[in-house]
Amino acid sequence: MSRPRIVIVGAGFAGYRTARTLSRLTRHQADITLLNPTDYFLYLPLLPQVAAGILEPRRVSVSLSGTLPHVRLVLGEADGIDLDGRTVHYTGPEGEEGTLAYDRLVLAAGSVNKLLPIPGIAEHAHGFRGLPEALYLRDHVTRQVELAAAADDRAECAARCTFVVVGAGYTGTEVAAHGAMYTDAQVRRHPMRTGMRPRWMLLDVAPRVMPEMDERLSRTAERVLRQRGVDVRMGTSVQEATHDGVVLTDGSTVDTRTLVWCVGVRPDPLVESLGLPMERGRLLVDPHLQVPGRPELFACGDVAAVPDLNQPGQYTPMTAQHAWRHGKVCAHNVVASLGRGQRRAYRHRDMGFVVDLGGAKAAANPLGLPMSGPAAGAVTRGYHLAAMPGNRVRVAADWLLDAVLPRQAVQLGLVRSWSVPLESSSPEVARVPGRPEQSGKDAVAAGTAGTAGKHADGDDAKKQPRGEPGKNQPGGEPGKNQPGGEPAKNQPGGEPAKRGSDAASAGSRSHGERAKGSQSGSPRASGKPRRAVEAAGPRPARGGSGKPGKSSRTSGAGSAGKRPTAPSGPSRSAGPPTDPGPEPPANQPPPGPDIAPGPVRRTDGRAVEGDS
């Protein structure tokens, strides 16, 4: 008899815990496959410390292959699920397609940024859900403080050193608290010529900071924020965002170059394509985390609406604490469905929350005991060390170094503004040039943006060439004004010095034609596949030879299990739908992060179009 095949989609808190527990329970008697776009588990609660320069990125990234024995890791993003055929269709990181057959399927795809129909948000704000976004924010904040320090104009200085965080929940509060400490340390070492200081603002329509938490934690967090000079405005949000600032709902205008969107998250739209009963975007499951009518299908984490047995009629909230516990119960029930052990209903006990506010400050209520100050800071860091599935010694070492040494306030420029759009379907993966086009999941995100999604219109697609950071994006100053933004002719693989108007006009024509030809509508979420590629036409083969590549992908939608041809949709990350175009010749070095698309010089004297 063949061994049962168990497929887990997603390696967040729920998916990682499910895989780790299954690896122990099955004892090599089942084939466990984990499908995830990255090869690491991200410990999200410590992500603000990455943005603040306390922890290095790899400290919060736990290797999947190194910590999950007897689990097969498949890198890719799920496109669709054929429930009747019991297969999962996915696309790999290099555009390759694959199919995974299963006997038991665990959906733990997690969540994405929640958008609101506010004009300009999609174009000018950035989320905070993955490592690329944290690295971008760290570089961007550092750059703005450096530019503000060198500015003579007080208005420009004030705009650059004003940082607006929307959403006073767990994430937004920690980002503002750590960010204020980080920028204050920069200014102490290098005062601004105008004598100004950085200004952080925290906005939310809620009546208090962290409204979902205990009120005592909320008061402690707000007190610490105000002591650090953070402008906390409750009952206020953004009415419109522009390149130069934001208009608030109270009618005031704030000049800023930084808008961090921490309003919240919503379930991954993958589950919407299944055609199964939903509850506010989450897949309905029973207390055993099993989908009714589908004994082979389980769901846990943010994509699952799990009944709260302690509060009848309600569902467990979308928190890491619940997702981690879901994973353990789900693994036991999957094994029970294979004939081993007994099923378990999900019940939880509130163990309290911890909020790291930077330095020795924190707010915590372990087991319901409210704490603040250094004692809460010690409890908070101890909790994180105990909860992390790896890298504990490295994290503790970084904390020790941060306590005795000044932070390194440098910008590496590895992640640019256009690489981490707010509407990205995969915030854990940065957008890169030449990457395969994405499916409907980003289209779903674009659809929810309402009027904020203006950049998906055809006119804007004409205005902005593929791969270039728009000048209207936060931090998206022209390349010549950005640190490290030397002219393309001085960078490897970039555009050589201008030889004449013919080359320039040819380059502009090619970009205009590509942008114009890539205009398409944005399919809505209902019944659409998650990541179907744009069906705009064949893609040139590698090396820019002009040979047609493989045709557009299709993906499954709905419970019927069919894979219809995907509609034309926007690119993998948000922004105007574009054609990746031909790739550079084999002997051409890859372009740098700031190189705009344009003609490059070949050794045989002919010009070919490069792929920025």
Task: Give residue-wise pLDDT tens across range 502-560.
Answer: 433 343 333 333 333 333 333 333 333 444 333 333 434 333 333 333 333 333 333 33
Q: What is the pLDDT of residues 238-291, one digit of tens each?
A: 999 999 999 999 999 999 999 999 998 899 989 998 999 999 999 999 999 999
Q: Is pLDDT at 430 greater than 80 in this prediction?
A: yes
Nearest-angstrom CA–CA distance, 376 and 354: 8
Beta-carbon contacts of 394 under 8 Å, excluding residues fewer than 6 positions away, are 58, 59
Identify the H or E element spanning 373. Answer: helix 373-387
Return the bridge partners of 441, or none.
Answer: none
Q: What angle do CA 269, 453, 450 make, to 5 degrees?
A: 70
Instruction: For residue 561, report the phi and psi dihedrals to the nearest 5 degrees.
Output: 80, 10
Residue-level pLDDT at 341? 86
Pair 436, 580: CB distance under 8 Å: yes
Residue-level pLDDT at 435? 54
Residue-level pLDDT at 76? 95
Q: Is pLDDT at 566 greater than 90 in this prediction?
A: no
Q: Is pLDDT at 477 greater than 90 in this prediction?
A: no
Polymer length of the chain: 612
Which pLDDT band, with edges at 50, 70 and 90, does 1 fall under?
A: low
Residue-level pLDDT at 418? 87
Instruction: Using DSSP, state whether 601 is helix, strand or coil.
Output: strand
**Edge-to-edge order in the sheet of strand 5-9:** 71-75, 31-36, 5-9, 104-107, 297-299
Return the bridge partners of 265, or none.
Answer: 113
Nearest-angstrom CA–CA distance, 173 and 176: 5
Mean pLDDT value across the chain: 77
pTM for this predicted structure: 0.72
Pairing of strands 371-372, 258-261: unpaired
Q: What is the pLDDT of residues 305-359, one digit of tens each?
A: 999 998 888 999 999 999 999 999 999 999 999 988 899 999 988 888 899 999 8
Tokens linked to 298: 């389980």
Start-to-end Cα distance in the chain: 51
Tokens linked to 132: 């690329």
Nearest-angstrom CA–CA distance, 510 and 43: 43
Residue-level pLDDT at 427? 80
Q: Nearest-CA neighbor of 177 among 140, 209, 133?
A: 209
Q: What is the pLDDT of residues 103-158, one digit of tens each?
A: 999 999 999 888 889 999 999 999 999 999 999 999 999 999 999 998 888 999 99
